[in-house]
Amino acid sequence: MDSSVFVIVALGAAAAGFVQGLSGFGFGLTAMSLWAWTLEPRLAAVLVVAGSLTGQVLAAFSVRRGFDKVRLLPFVLGGLAGIPIGVALLPRLDMEAFKLVLGTLLVLWCPAMLLAKQLPRLTRGGRLADAVVGMAGGVMGGIGGFTGVLPTLWCTLRGWDKDAQRAVIQNFNLAMLLVTMAAYLATGMVTAPMLPYLAVALPAMLVPVLLGARLYHGISEARFRQIVLGMLTLSGVAMLASALPKVLW
């Protein structure tokens, strides 16, 4: 095995762990900005789900926020319906086209939200709309651990404060990632050759997750929004940089 690949796995896990500890999501988007260049898509998906799940478990103990089950339940029910769809799509999906579409969405939408003097606030749709967004998050979680992207955008547009948003995203991600990992194990997605990569990725992310979680407590509402939208924008840029050369040539 090429040792440089393990270095990339460790660096991606450490950077992604810090981002997840700080924001409550984003492990997959951050890690894939490095891993997408070198790792086979199924291996990358398994590492993302395993790393995201580990980070969420740690964050659940280090950043405890209110558990509003009335607000959370529609997201979780929708997400549970979406995960099997994502798992079924993964072996058949053109990952470069997927990254191209998702990256374009993030690059166009997130800076517009970041630069807006006042974000539009969505109040319509109620719990049904929350469930639809949760389902989309579940599909993306089954595809590769990207459970938090669309729900995070949605919570931001809902106008929820950072603690309410973190409570939904953290608990939603934890539930979705548990089910996704169970589905990966049940369908044989996790194989013996992947174990050395998992043995490198998981320890590499532990301290960065805790550091990010500690910094979360000291940031303001405005700064939290800037961090979240800025990270989503950078993740979109990384996805486009990875996908465009392969799609165009």
Confidence of residue 136 (pLDDT cuts 50, 70, 90): very high
What residue type is 63 in one-letter code? V
Parse the chain into domains and list their residue ranges: 3-248
- How high is the pLDDT of residue 77? 94
- How high is the pLDDT of residue 245? 76
Confidence of residue 191 (pLDDT cuts 50, 70, 90): very high
Token couple for 242: 């990875």
**pLDDT at residue 65 is higher than 70:** no
**pLDDT at residue 117 is higher than 60:** no
Pairwise CA distance, residues 157 & 215, whole Å: 24
Pairwise CA distance, residues 141 & 82, whole Å: 8
- How high is the pLDDT of residue 212? 86
Query: pLDDT per residue over 20-44, tens digit each?
Result: 888 777 787 788 778 877 888 889 8
Contacts 24+ apart (CB under 8 A), 241-249: 242/32, 242/33, 242/36, 242/37, 242/96, 242/99, 243/96, 243/97, 243/99, 243/100, 243/103, 244/100, 246/96, 247/96, 247/97, 247/100
- Between 243 and 31, residue with greater pLDDT: 31
**pLDDT at residue 1 is higher than 60:** no
- How high is the pLDDT of residue 13? 93
